[in-house]
Structure 1
């Protein structure tokens, strides 16, 4: 999917653990977003230090939902413990992963940011 020059960015910034409870909260926040075609959903994992299989389920459900709505979901600032889980499950090849938030927008000139807390 290509990002149009003008796109809306929906930023999710979970903190702590994405386990059963944290994954449920993230899923609720993603479900609360009214998807619009060509939105960019960014999950910034800078403050996430742990993720288990329940957390993976919430990420995969979010990715599926985004794609079905014509949106793009990417991950950024993935910490080492979380990256390891993604690599072991080979989901690092399914998700678009960027080292930093700014790296996502190397080709995007104009964007609207919506932060979901």
Structure 2
């Protein structure tokens, strides 16, 4: 059984998006934009399902787009939500590390102040 070219393209898109997410994990601003785009993709899934369901004959051998939207949810929204969760976890880890660094700097500053007052 051969896969449809558009399905291969969609899976490739998700793989590239995951790779970009992993590579850009240190750039929080870029990841914020990326998460907004992935959320937009999930938000537009219902409209995309309707549009693709009406025009499936032009690009596919069969209609995958049921009115309930199960296929689009599993194949489109699911991977986008997983990538968004990955971005969220990365952001939380980065924020925790930043808070630890800030607290250490604060404690060092207080220790220096205490030493200077004793002298």
Please, what TM-score do these two structures have when normalized by structure 2? 0.28
Bigger radius of gyration: 2
Please, what TM-score do these two structures have when normalized by structure 1? 0.28
The structure, 1 or 2, with the larger RCO (C-alpha pairs under 8 Å, 6+ apart) is 1
Structure with greater proportional helix content: 2
